[in-house]
Amino acid sequence: MRPHPIIPALVLCAACSEAPPRLPSALEHGTLVVVTINSPTTVYEDAEGNYAGLEHDLVNAFAGELGLAVRYVFMTDAAQLFKTLEEGRAHLAAAGIPALTPLGARVRFGPTYQTVRFEVVYRTDQPRPRSVADLLGKRLAMVAGSGGAENLRKAATRDAALAWSEMPVEDGLALLARLADGEFDYAVARSNVVAMATDFYPNVGGAFTVGEPTPLAWAFPEEGDPRLLAKAEEFFSRIARDGTLKRLLDRYYGHAGRLGPVDVNGIITRMRSVLPALKPWFQEAERLTGIDWRLLAALGYQESQWDPLATSPTGVRGLMMLTEETADRMGVTDRLDPYQSIIAGARYLLVLKETLPARIPEPDRTWLALAAYNLGFGHLEDGRILAQRKGLDPDAWMDVRQSLPLLSRPDHYMTVQRGFARGGEAVYLVENVRTYYDILKRFEQRERPLTADAPGYAEALP
């Protein structure tokens, strides 16, 4: 599918005295105007300075099928989203919206593409609440317009004294960061956000769910072009059938919530104490290879916890845990020299990425290369062959992840060229690196391009 250009983001003028005219149909105008919220679960700027996020990928795939350009308009809360739709100033809202029509709102919802639960979240150094009754008299908060209030009301029918604050924060992660800092006692947030938050804030955790499962969907103006809604219904039906939707959900949530508090505390502690001395070398490795230094640091942490003297029983050594063969290939004279190890590890990962077929897109190319870093390229190819035999996509990490553990079973590894391999360990490495990378992206900045023509340059989100 050929990507279509994104028109730079605009912010609607809330103070204008006269409402602008309603937009013409996107199908006739050639541009799809989408209102959203800037957050990790919707649309955000990624490490390369490009737009990313589940909603972004869904919208762009939809617009691409229709031959439309996209203009994103960023709002601060759900109330603004619905107001903008009702006034006909946007064609759809894509922001992880609960498919529950607010009182008086004149909108229609498209098909459900994700279902979440609302969870009561607590600080793990405090007693865990077991029911709504435990929330009485406590400071309880949620994101305004998130749908949490509706679910809590249903769960609290017998506890009329239950009270809460609806916070005007940009997203659920920001809310849970404030919970982690002790600003209030409990929070209510969506399950997908809670899974992400536990990877960043080791002292928060989900206590129990409230209400029923909540479907998320795009919202359309009630008076909008019905053909656009019909096209959206066709689009979601197709991507559910062909596996595209499942792959996108896995891209953004498949690795969330994998680490325990000890793992998260470990990298955050060493990020402050050990990483500063290593950071210039990881950044030099990025300049040499083009691979985000934070991804390289995540790999190094998974391999050795940034210990330059690390040695495994199998003979791999150093911060990036290089085999003797790989070290020789990369020109390393001392595997225990952290600078040499980091540069060689980065160069080796780049070689693996470039060896994969050119048709494989990102981020699957990176995840597959990481698996090869652990297993060896030949064993990765065997895993991809097994995926193909099972009717899976050998170019998609989500599918290859299912086949790699089969390399430890005789009925499978006896049928491929290179035989036995600990494929499950490669899956474990990749999923952990993905999570450590998310943590580092949240707390560490990438070196920004200096000019507008530098690779990955994009106008920052407002």
Task: Tell me which residues are annotated as active site.
Answer: 303
What does the block give as tokens for 331? 């020109």
| Residue 375: CB atoms within 10 Å | 23
User: Would you give the DSSP letter of residue 311?
Assistant: B
Long-range contacts of 129-136 (CB under 8 A, 24+ apart): 129/186, 129/207, 129/208, 130/207, 130/208, 131/208, 132/156, 132/159, 132/162, 132/210, 133/159, 135/159, 135/162, 135/186, 136/161, 136/162
Helices within 157-200 (DSSP H only): 172-180, 191-197
Q: Are 458 and 44 in contact (CB under 8 A)?
A: no
* DSSP symbols for 9-32: EE---TT-SSPPPPPPPHHHHSEE
What does the block give as tokens for 69? 């350009």
What does the block give as tokens for 278? 């290593």
Helices within 203-323 (DSSP H only): 226-242, 244-253, 261-273, 275-289, 293-304
User: Would you give the DSSP letter of residue 317?
Assistant: B
**The three-state (H, E, C) secondary structure of 80-101, written as one string:** HHHHHHHCCCCCEEEEEEECCC
- The 3-state DSSP class for residue 198 equals coil
Residue 89, phi then psi, degrees to nearest 5: -95, 5
Q: Are 364 and 397 in contact (CB under 8 A)?
A: yes
Residue 205, phi then psi, degrees to nearest 5: -160, 160
What does the block give as tokens for 137? 């008299």
Residue 80, phi then psi, degrees to nearest 5: -65, -40
Pairing mode, if any, of strands 107-109 and 44-45?
A: unpaired
Whether the ω angle into residue 363 lies within 30 degrees of 0, i.e. cis, is yes
Nearest to 454 by CA among 462, 446, 445, 442: 446
